[in-house]
Every structure is written in structure tokens, then in C-alpha cells.
Amino acid sequence: MTTAMNAPVNLAAPPPRKLRVATTSLAGCFGCHMSLLDIDERILTLLDLVEFDRSPITDIKHCGPCDLGIIEGGLCNAENVHVLREFRNHCKIILALGACAINGGLPAQRNHLDLRDVLEEVYQTEVGLSHGGIPNDPELPLPLNKVHPIHEVVKVDYFLPGCPPPADAIWKLLTDLLAGRTPTLGHGLMHYD
Amino acid sequence: MNETQTFQLDGEDIPFAPGQSIMQAATAHGAYIPHLCWHPDFAAHGSCKLCTVKVNGRFGSSCTMAAQAGMSVENRTAELDDKRRTLLQMLFVEGNHFCPSCEKSGNCALQATAYELKMMSPHFDMFYPDRPVDASHPDVLLDFNRCIMCSLCVTASAEVDGKNIFYMGGRGLLGRRVHVSSESGRLGDTNFALSDRAASICPVGVILPKRRGFAVPIGERKYDKAPISAQVKERV
């Protein structure tokens, strides 16, 4: 008969604290988040090691103290800058994930155009649209004059290029970081497209 | 009897013929020295500075410096690759290099060199210069956003095609790029042809044939298969 007295005592160290990870998509298309989900069943292994803070996956609205902040997308409006600064203030490590976070990407294609011309064409002069006027609701974040990559506003610790970065590259980078190694990508995982 | 002369490139003996540059000898031997403006078919231009090596402790452009017996040349050291990566980052921020929407992606020497040198970010602030494209030619599109000023098209058009269609021009950091020498400045007003050597020489995505879009799937393009450093002989 087993009693509490002679029950085996677990002398092993307690499991390490799970690292807290926050993610967000700024001026991006959520493609990088889709690529994160493309790690498939490895997400179960990941969830043994990390827990998600603010993220589209958890729907938590604000970032608490985190070990890693993953930023998809560049900066196209004032709210993007606000969110990015919130991440930088709360995360020990910031990762720029994907082409848009790194060089502005597709949203930055508007950078050689005048912002007012763009808004007027989209909301007022373009044939077939309702011509409702340029939206001016105070709830809407103001667009920036140009789209910027995130490293122009905050210090970024790691960059993972790709449009989107392959799931295997995201996995390689996350597992390297979790193991305390400097992340490296070999040929085949590094893509700018 | 004339014994083969050699120099040392990162500790490896590289044979050379008299008159060959360090770059020519290394390339013939299959050794990779990063470069963008050098092409085996043409005289060295010496402008991109990516091929800078250290010869007996001093910096020099390997494409313009003659190989000499007994030289000790440093090539892929951390010091030199760090400087090369910085040069690449400056090229990336001075133009508009958006790989996902570029037809040349996967076959681009600039992109492949950046992969080789592990360029993870542009590092500097982006310039986003305003450079309109030239679609006036029936068969060829010019996208000046990607010009890295290697001037290979200038040389090829002048020396092989005998047409002098391109020239380097413009002023300042953002104005300088390749230009078209017709009076209108448009390629459609020249006798440029898709069969010209200059039409296939561009290492990046400035000179592109029309009506051909992403013909080779991702995974099978030139630099998907092997890094640029493993394709030295194929490029000759």
C-alpha cells in the first residue's frame, strides 16, 4: 500500500518557465502569421515551450511583459507606430517577420505617390466607386505620409526575410532562439520573396 | 620549362596566367569572390567594390588587381564580408528592391549575393527614390528602380551590339542610374532589340523581356537550387 510518506519524491528541477510571446500584424496581410501556423503540428511542441500574450491568435488586446515580440508588416499609419512602441516597451526581443516589416514591402509601393492623390483617387475620383469622400472619422488612425520599415522607428533584434518567410525558417529561428543560439538560416530558408 | 605560378586565396593555391586579375584567376579555378559589376566577358569596371579583398594586408579590388606569384589574398573573412554586406545594404536602400514583385527574383545576382552574405535587413533608413519605369519598347521593359549602376548594359551595348543605347547619368545619390541615349530618353525610340547582348546582361531586374512572367516556378530558379558561391563555373 502506497502512502504519501513513501511516495516517490520528484527531485527533478521544475519545468522551465514558459517564454511569453506576443505577435502582431501592422501594415501586413497576415500572410506571415499564416506561415507561422504552417509549422503544422510543431505548434504543439511550441506551445510546450511558449505561451502567447497579445496576438491575433489569443485576441488579447494589449501586450504585457514578454520575452519575444514578433512584428509582421511595416508602418503605414499612426496606430502601427503606437503598437510597435508598445511591443518594444514590453518585449525583451523584437523580431521583424517578413518583407513588409523589413523594407516596407507591398504597402511601400505607394511611397512614390502623393498620399492625397492616392486617397482622392480611391475615395473620390475613381470610376465605379461611391464617391463618399475621404474618410475622416476620429476613430481612424491617420495614415503616414510614407510607409516605413519598423527598424526606422525602434531597435529590432532579429530579422527574418521572406514574403512570407517559409514555415521551416520561422521554426528554425524560434527553436534557435528558444535554445539560446544565435539564429542562422541556411540556403533554402533565406528568401526575400 | 615554365612552372605554373600561383597565389594564395584564403590559404588555397590558385594558379594564374600572366595578365590575369585575381578575380579572373579565382573564377577560372572555381573560387567565389563576391562581385556585382564584374562580368567574365568584359573588361573590369571596378565600381561596385564588392570584390574588395586584402592583398598582403592591403585592400584592393580583385577585379582590377593583377595576380602576382606569392600574393597572400584574404577573401571570405568576417571583416571583408561585413564590409560587403554594408555595401549591399546601401544598394538595397538607395533603390527600390522589392523582391516579391520582381520578375528577376530567384535569378538575381544582387539577391543571391545578399543571401550569400547573410543580409538579414537593409539596416539603413530607406530612401524610396521615385524612378518611373520605361515601357515604351514593344519587347522590353525598363524598371530603373532596381538599377545598381554596374554599367554592364552600357558596356554590352557599346562593345558587343555597337549601339551605345545606354549610358550612366543623373546626379546625386538618388538621381544616378542608367539612362537611355535616345533624344526622348525612351527605349522605344532606339533600335534596341531583344536579341541584343545588352538585353540579357542585367544582373538585376532592370532590363526585362515583356510577355514573360514568372515562367520558372519558385524552387527551380537559378539561385533556388544552389547558392551563388557554388555556381562560379556556371557563370563563366
Could you give the domains of chain A? 19-107+146-178 (3.40.50.700)
- State the DSSP string of B96-127: T--GGG-TTTTS-HHHHHHHHTT-----SPP-
Same domain, B13 and B117: no
* Continuous segment of H or E residues that includes residue B140: strand B140-142
Of the residues B76, B109, B132, the one at which a domain ends: B76
For B121, the closest of A148, A151, A188 (CB atoms) is: A151
pLDDT at B172: 79
Nearest alpha carbon to residue A149 among A74, A73, A69, A53 = A74
| Whether the Cβ atoms of residue B7 and residue B72 lie closer than 8 Å to each other | yes
Contact criterion met (CB < 8 Å) for B121 and A193: no
Whole-number Å distance between alpha carbons of B62 and B31: 12
Q: Is A124 left (phi over 0), alpha (psi -120 to 50) or beta?
A: alpha
Nearest alpha carbon to residue B74 among B26, B6, B9, B7 = B9
Asked, for residue B45, whether it belongs to a domain, the answer is yes
Of the residues B39, B61, B76, the one at which a domain ends: B76
The number of domains in chain B is 2
Asked, for residue B130, whether it belongs to a domain, the answer is yes
For residue B115, give the CATH number of its domain.
3.30.70.20
Within an 8 Å CB–CB cutoff, is residue B118 touching chain A? yes
> How many residues belong to chain A?
193
- Integer-rounded Cα Rg, in Å, for chain B is 18
Asked, for residue B82, whether it belongs to a domain, the answer is no
Strand, helix or coil for residue A122: helix
Q: Each residue of B21-33: pLDDT tens digit?
A: 999 999 999 999 9
Whole-number Å distance between alpha carbons of A51 and A62: 15
Nearest alpha carbon to residue B95 among B194, B201, B203, B219 = B203
A31 to chain B nearest CA, in Å?
A: 13
Same domain, B52 and B148: no
Judging by DSSP bridges, how do beta strands A75-77 and A143-148 pair with one another? Answer: antiparallel
* Continuous segment of H or E residues that includes residue B208: strand B207-209
Same domain, B103 and B199: yes
Helix, strand, coil percentages, rounded to 5, for chain B: 30, 15, 55
Same domain, B105 and B158: yes
Average pLDDT, rounded, for chain A: 93
Same domain, B68 and B113: no
Q: Which residues of A touch B94 (CB under 8 A)?
A: none
Q: Each residue of A59-95: pLDDT tens digit?
A: 999 999 999 999 999 999 999 999 999 999 999 999 9
Cell digits of residue A75:
508602418
Size of interface A-B (CB pairs under 8 A): 71
pLDDT at A148 exceeding the cut of 50:
yes
The beta-strand segments (E) located in chain A are 19-25, 50-52, 66-72, 75-77, 91-97, 143-148, 158-160
pLDDT at B210: 97
ipTM reported for the complex, 2 dp: 0.93
Asked, for residue B236, whether it belongs to a domain, the answer is no
Same domain, B214 and B134: yes
pLDDT tier, A128 (very low <50, low <70, confident <90, very high otherwise): confident
Cell 537559378, located at residue: B222
Question: Domain residues for B213?
Answer: 99-228
pLDDT at B1: 44
Same domain, B116 and B70: no
Same domain, B66 and B157: no
pLDDT at A3: 53
Same domain, B145 and B63: no
Whole-number Å distance between alpha carbons of A67 and B173: 40
Residue type, A73: G
Contact criterion met (CB < 8 Å) for A102 and B122: yes
For residue B67, give the CATH number of its domain.
3.10.20.740
Note down pLDDT in tens along chain B; length 236 residues: 467 899 999 999 999 999 999 999 999 999 999 999 999 999 999 999 999 999 999 999 999 999 999 999 999 999 999 999 999 999 999 999 999 999 999 999 999 999 999 999 999 999 999 998 999 999 999 999 999 999 999 999 999 999 999 999 988 777 889 999 999 999 999 999 999 999 999 999 999 999 998 899 999 999 999 999 999 987 66
pLDDT at B50: 98
| Whether the Cβ atoms of residue A138 and residue B103 lie closer than 8 Å to each other | no
β-partners of residue A12 are none
Residues of A in CB contact (< 8 Å) with B are 96, 99, 102-106, 108-109, 111-112, 146, 148-149, 151-152, 156, 158-161, 163, 184-185, 187-188, 190-193
Nearest alpha carbon to residue B15 among B51, B62, B69 = B69
Residues 6+ apart with CB under 8 A from A65: A20, A90
pLDDT at A126 exceeding the cut of 50:
yes
Cis peptide before B129 (omega within 30 of 0): no
- Work out the number of other CB atoms within 10 angstroms of the CB of residue A7: 8
pLDDT at A5 exceeding the cut of 80:
no
Contact criterion met (CB < 8 Å) for B121 and A190: no
- How many Å separate Cα B226 from the centre of its chain? 18
- How many Å separate Cα A143 from the centre of its chain? 20
Same domain, B178 and B120: yes
Contact criterion met (CB < 8 Å) for A106 and B218: no
B191 to chain A nearest CA, in Å?
A: 30
Contact criterion met (CB < 8 Å) for A156 and B100: no
Interface with chain A: mutation pick from B121, B131, B146, B174, highest number of A CBs within 10 Å:
B121
| Whether the Cβ atoms of residue B141 and residue B208 lie closer than 8 Å to each other | yes
pLDDT at A131 exceeding the cut of 80:
no
Of the residues B14, B41, B76, the one at which a domain ends: B76
pLDDT at B235: 63
For B98, the closest of A105, A160, A185 (CB atoms) is: A105
Same domain, B118 and B174: yes
β-partners of residue A133 are none
pLDDT at A11: 75
